[in-house]
Amino acid sequence: MKKKNLVKRNFGEITSDQDFEERCTGFHKGCAIGLLPAMQIQEYERVNTKTHIETLEQLDNKAGTLPMFHSWVNVTCHPEWLKYFNVDPFQVPTVVFYYPEK
């Protein structure tokens, strides 16, 4: 019986091109990336950000061996990712689906 090659999941924040490679493009599979405004001034903002991150992490954990990976970007600190994915700042929080082979 052949053993499946299992890929170690690497959920986390994307802060650089290297993170993007390690958490998304390096797998050559689909990647759902949460674009989150990480404003932390008000308590509800902290709770919202935490909830969004936890939801993405749960989805990544549930994906198991499926070829789907999840991560997130703090677009407050890294707005360049909005341009990369062609997302208007008024559309966040949102999730983009990136498939490097297409």
Q: What is the pLDDT of residues 54-102, one digit of tens each?
A: 999 999 999 988 889 999 999 999 999 999 999 999 999 999 999 977 6
Domain assignment present for residue 24? The answer is no
pTM summary value: 0.85
The tokens describing 101, both together, are 């082979």
Domain assignment present for residue 47? The answer is yes
Domain assignment present for residue 54? The answer is yes
The tokens describing 97, both together, are 């689906």
The domain containing residue 71 runs over which residues? 30-98
Domain assignment present for residue 38? The answer is yes
Beta strands 94-98; 30-36: pairing state: antiparallel
Q: How confident is the model at residue 3 (pLDDT cuts 50, 70, 90)?
A: very low
Domain assignment present for residue 25? The answer is no
- Report the number of distinct structural domains present in the chain: 1
Domain assignment present for residue 43? The answer is yes
Neighbours of 10 (CB within 10 A): 15
Domain assignment present for residue 11? The answer is no
pLDDT at residue number 1: 46
Q: Say which residues have a Cβ less than 8 Å from residue 74's Cβ, sequence separation at least 6.
A: 13, 15, 36, 37, 38
